[in-house]
Each structure stands twice: as structure tokens, then as C-alpha cells.
Amino acid sequence: MIRAAEPATQPPDAVPEFSGDWALFLDVDGSLLDIADHPGDVRADEVLVQSLACLRSRLCGALALISGRPLKELDSLFAPLHLPAAGQHGLERRSASGQLLPGFDLPEGFSQVESRLALFVDCHPELFLERKSRGLALHYRQAPELEREVLALAEALVPTCTPPLLLQRGKMVVELRVPGSNKGTAIAAFMAERPFAGRRPIFIGDDITDEDGFRKVNELDGHSVLVGSRDSAARWSIASAADLRRWLSQLASDVSSEQTRERT
């Protein structure tokens, strides 16, 4: 199911062997969950939620979500779990103890950028503007022919804020967000805290936005796993989100069986 990606540092068709000393970091959209036409259409099923709960217990709490979504959406998706998480690419972060870390201030001119994007969407109703507390994501999955116009507008709006916004591209989406954090810095922050500190980091993601996370766990001698197939800094790959869910379910099942044997 999982193979070594190129450039390979592990044997082809090998699977990273699960270890209780992992610190497991998981991207959500496109990795744990299949991408939908609208972000609000995504759902996490009961099997996945139970798998995450089991693995979090086995890892003594060292499991976190690393996502572009706001924390409140992550909590809604994976309820009743309340996991450690980095939302909005690390601009929001909740520690394993449940503490919300200080956020980042909005730059001057942010509201004007939101108004410009809203006007553009009014002219192109097939687009969707996702408003976040620290960023604005313009989705064009329903209108791929508008990609050039979307990117041109986003690039033009970057310098209109003080300090300038960060332009982040993703799968059929472009996001203008507050600078200062990415998925790599979020993982590094978790790795400096209990229960993640001293463990081997594993980050699983699918998109260009996950490359910072891949590079960071590579620096820390961890496992970087790409969901899908493309050029990437990830050292391992898995074919699809569905395959990742099956793998996590199998790991959770193996852990449960091991715990049962230990009790008998």
C-alpha cells in the first residue's frame, strides 16, 4: 500500500513499521478525507474517528491534525474528538493540553482584500470564497477555466496589505493569508512540547501546502508520506485518501489486538 517515493531512501514497496514512539501529524483534506466540490461537503466517518482515537491513545496523545482549515471546522469534522491541531497552516494552534496558542494579527488592508475578492465572486458565482479568521481562500474547482484570472487577482492583492499577505496555492484553490507560519513551523512547535518531544515525527499530506511539513520531518529524521503521486520532498507515498484510511484502520486494529493480548 505504501511505497518509497523518489528520491527513495527506503527499499521500494516497503511500509514504515508502526512504532509506539511516533509523533503522528495528519493533513485533512485530500489526505484523511477525499476532497469535495465544497469544503462543507466533507465528512469523516465513524471508522476513521475511532481509528484516530485508538492511535492517539497508543501514541500517548502524540497525534495532531495539521490543516488549512480553521480549528472549529476540524473539531466539527472529527467530533467527539478534540485533537491537538494546527489550523490555517499553523496560524491557529491548540496544544495537547488543550491550550490555544496566541494567534497572528491581521495586516492593515485585509478587509479591503476581502471586499475585492467578494466582488470578483459576485461576477463569477461558480467560484466560492472561503472566509477564515486569518486568511481568504478562493476555490475554483467548479470553474477551472478561471484559474489565470484567479491567480492574477490574488497576486495583485498580495502587496496591498501591510505587511504583505502570503499567497498559498493548493488543489483548485488559492489562499491569501497572514504570513508567519506554515505546516513545517507548526510541526516544529509541536515537537518542542509534550507529548511530541523526543518522538519520531511522521507527517502525511497530499498538497503543495504540505511540502513545508515534509521538509521539516525529513530534517528531524522522520517519515514524510505523500498521498497521491507527484514530485515531492516526501520519502514515502500512498495511493489515495481511501488507502490511507484503510492503513490507519489496520494500524488501529493491530494496536487493539496487541492491547487485548497484553491484558490476557
Active site positions, annotated: 27
What is the three-state SS of 130-184?
Answer: EEECCEEEEECCCCHHHHHHHHHHHHHHHHHCECCCEEEEECCEEEEECCCCCHH
> Which letter does DSSP use for residue 108 in this model?
B
CA distances to 70, 101, 186 from 113, in Å? 19, 26, 26
| Cis, bond preceding 179 (omega within 30 deg of 0) | no
Cell representation of residue 69: 482549515
164-171 contacts, C-beta under 8 A, 24 or more apart: 164/107, 165/107, 165/110, 165/113, 168/68, 168/89, 168/135, 168/209, 169/208, 169/209, 170/68, 170/137, 170/207, 170/208, 170/209, 171/30, 171/35, 171/141, 171/206, 171/207
